[in-house]
Structure 1
């Protein structure tokens, strides 16, 4: 007998109907059915044993009963523990094999019982009795065949072999007539057919039932998925509804005609209109302000008409008359089967009034900052010009004075004037450099240069101060230093001069050591330069502050050593602009070490330029004899300085007091070279240059001579047609060098 009410465990859920037909569940149902219907099966066993008792005596009957019960007991004892075995992990195939062995044992005991009856009463029993008994046992085995096929087929095999043995034995040894034998064999055949038909019917019924449960299980799963999807949609709908109702942004739902059908609480909070006041109204009729942009209104109406999204900003009016800026995102919602036409519109509106006001204030602040930056630039340009112009006279006259025969006291005074003017010039240059950096106008000019020569040039500038203080200035250059690299030689030299100048300034005794190393990095080089001193050192808490503008390590430093505190700030900004790094390590009382790490490009292989050395002043001056020079300068002091600088050169000097006079003098007689100040009355140097360049014929060399030191001023000079640029204050050697450089091109001056 089989148990058809077993709940699947392990693989299938309780509501999974198809789980009843998984292999492990079939095995459990087989075991449960065999155990449950043990007593019912013994009815046939008792009847057979009783029949054997009557035919062959009590010993044979009891022996048959014991054999049958022993077989059933072995089978049921094993099957009773099937569920815990499978739960404990016993492989299903092993359980099937053992259950097959117990089934074979149980079938053999039945066959032995029937054999006792047949052979014990040989000749007294009809063949139909043992065959019928075996047929009953086979039908019982066939009932459970679908649940454990190996065990079922094993039982059927045992019964079939036993029945065949009985048939052959009866046919050979029976004394009955052929007619009786034929009847017995016919009965045997009918029983066999009945058994086969019954087993087939049971199998077919089992398959139908399994198919039905499979369909039921699939329907159950589909329904479960549908119910889960429905629950999920309901949950999402509730969550979305809650989110929309409590959203901080206004949410408005409109029908296909654009009229409001629903709005959330934020709509009421922002606009002041209750839901019943808004339903059925067009949003524009309700909220548009007289100041609302008509183009925006038309764009929203067009989006509603065409059923397309709209996103933009609109100025709305609240119920209490105030105006608010709203950022609107309006989208059409099209449901399936709607023919492509929206059946509603959803608009999400965010109040951006505060953001618009902040943006406006930010724009105003930016404009104010730009105006302040322009004012600062104009102030610096004016300051530069107004200070450099008299400084040109101070430095120029002090240079002239130092070249005269003076007493030692007079020379000390003159040297003090010149040194003070140079110090003031450095302060002005530092402030201008910082202004350029902050304005983002510090342009780099990378070109091939000799790194060793760059370092030597910086050392040459600070060596006099080091010798004056008795400091040793020591240099170590790495053996792998290439002849030429590519970078901004001028800016690197400026940084080195700042670092070396500080080292000398803050060191009273000892030495300043410079080391230069370089290593390959990518396609270029990485230069590592250290400037180490034995000076006063920097406290750890002040080491970061020294790179800030107008900051020094100690408040007493400016009084003791002087300086503005801009040198390291400018140096760090320049190094960072060149993609490098500048760091410091220091110990108070022991000294400081500044490390400069800078990437440099490889320079194209070429021979270094010959070092001819600078020509002597007398040699330079000799080249200038005979040149016709026009100096356009409105400052009487600067004209005096230019005349004193050049009166021994043999040049023909002429002076113009303003730009207009300079143009007239060029018309009267074309000079070879013009020194042109940029800021003059009547015509500026720029306008005068343009006027000169616009005239036909031979053109002079024009060199800007100006106190304006910004890059924009330099570019303006070149754009107007000038050939060179000298920034005031100009020393005599720089002036002579510039004139000598252009002397050879005077004859080749272009025509307009």
Structure 2
């Protein structure tokens, strides 16, 4: 082999060796790159896992803190009631009946606490899902009145008045989550007491019933510091606090209220004006429930029913208790507007009105009641002896005025006397005083003449009113007043006097004229019955 061939062969071998070495280097680099990439990927995955575990731990800690705060707040609600009741029971001067009532309420609050603990355990087991609303059967009036009694001492300790204005026609029984309703109202009242420095806190409730379902409307208003418009958006946010931050609180109360209201199918709304006050309101739909046998008996109670209107809860409760012991069925309201609504909705034999009532004072409430009902006794309670105050009461159709302090025996006797007078369209003693043995047909004939002429005068008054002949209306009202008084129809005579005064003053007298017509219908029925008796005897 020539030297040239050998050199060429060596060159080829070297080239192949270099190529092989280069291939090995490139392959090794790729393997190291893949290993490096794999290591980086593993580190990224590990980092992501650590971050996720950290975030989960943080969320768990937040949930645990929120749960502790919620549990603390929820447990404090019934505990507040229990502590308030224990403070009330510490008063050794309480009558036995009232002490027993507080003990029964304390027992109920303890049962509520146990139910709440069971609910919290259930909530924890459900792992974040809301517990289903309960379906208790309860009295909305009794439930809300208990809360006013429970929280009243807390309000008075701060120099505030806790009022209740519960509509007299609240359904006797509802089916719904009584425990959650109590929690909502206690939280709202407690919040209002906390942020009110002077004035009052008021609980209001009414209901609209349609097709066996009641739409229960509840509102809690106060005369507190109010809330600025720009703070309303965060009012229901957990742990957010607005207003005076120096006051106690976790910022959970209103958030919990909102959640509970929504869980029951309602919505919590708020109206507020800084320096004036705040009102929280919500509505819940609850089916009507049949009253238990004991309550059905109470509903069919034949005892005479009395309505007491007094904004002083302690004084009102005293009157209610005393009158119940005296044989009356008694309801209580805290303002004049509620007194009017109650008197027009239920067949009370008497309404007792404190002269200085909120919303609508005693004489104002009496006037509105008397415009519709002439058969109910109206009795005013007042500490005033001024002539103008007493005159306003008389002018509003109030039958009797009692000056505080009033003996309970005097009050009961006054109710019995005035209610008996008001229940009669005519005073039969007046009619029977005209009866003579010589002419038994005289009084029946007299009744015929009166009824015929009274009906004629009433028709003429309607015609004059349509012509807007107010002078003629006044003339006829005055004449009918005189003849009615002569027949013992005292209430009709009063109606005619009111119509006469309105006509003389040039005021619209349509309401007064309608009241005269209603009362005349009662008089006509009573006189017709008496006429038949006289003819038959």
TM bin (shorter chain): 0.3 to 0.5
Give me the TM-score of the superposition, normalised by structure 2.
0.34
Q: Looking at both structures, which has the greater relative contact order when contacts are Cα pairs under 8 Å and sequence separation is at least 6?
A: 2
